[in-house]
């Protein structure tokens, strides 16, 4: 019994540690445009993206760079995780309105604190 309790406690601790290393961003889609259109995120971390669709039309978040395709219903929202990402620029589009719905996720290394 003690082993089961210890396993549960360790599992909870590891899950908490994993979520602490996950950056979170929110994207909004309105008038078939992503806001913000450029998002800076830390590299080498998983990124949890929450996409809120303010439009009355279905959209598909699509990114070959990120390896993601997610449908979001009219006036709905969807969340998904990408990464960890290497430093770089990762383009994404709203596949159903690609002429106006596009953006980029910019992954940058964390800066080291000053050693003064």
Q: Is residue 45 part of a domain?
A: yes
Q: How confident is the model at residue 111 (pLDDT cuts 50, 70, 90)?
A: confident
Q: Is residue 4 part of a domain?
A: no
Q: Is residue 99 part of a domain?
A: yes
Q: Is residue 97 part of a domain?
A: yes
Alpha-carbon span 46 to 21, nearest angstrom: 7
Q: Is residue 35 part of a domain?
A: yes
For residue 11, the model assigns a pLDDT of 43
Q: Is residue 114 part of a domain?
A: no
- Judged against a pLDDT cut of 80, whether residue 34 lies above it is answered with yes
Q: Is residue 115 part of a domain?
A: no
How many structural domains comprise the chain?
1
pTM of the predicted structure, to 2 decimals: 0.76
Q: How confident is the model at residue 18 (pLDDT cuts 50, 70, 90)?
A: very low
Q: Is residue 14 part of a domain?
A: no
Q: Which domain holds residue 52?
A: 21-108
Alpha-carbon span 86 to 47, nearest angstrom: 12
For residue 114, the model assigns a pLDDT of 59
80 conformational bin, left if phi > 0, alpha if psi -120 to 50, beta if neither: beta
Identify the CATH number of the domain in which residue 64 sits.
Answer: 2.60.40.420
């Amino acid at each position: 019994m003690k082993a089961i309790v210890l396993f549960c406690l360790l599992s909870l601790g590891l899950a908490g540690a994993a979520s602490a290393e996950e950056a979170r961003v929110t994207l909004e889609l309105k008038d078939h445009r992503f806001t913000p259109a450029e998002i800076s995120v830390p590299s080498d971390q998983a990124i949890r993206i929450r996409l809120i669709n303010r439009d009355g039309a279905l959209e598909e978040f699509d990114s070959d760079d990120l390896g993601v395709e997610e449908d979001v219903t009219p006036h709905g929202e969807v969340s998904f995780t990408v990464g960890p990402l290497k430093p770089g620029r990762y383009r994404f589009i709203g596949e159903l309105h690609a002429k106006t719905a596009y953006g980029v996720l910019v992954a940058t290394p964390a800066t080291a604190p000053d050693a003064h």
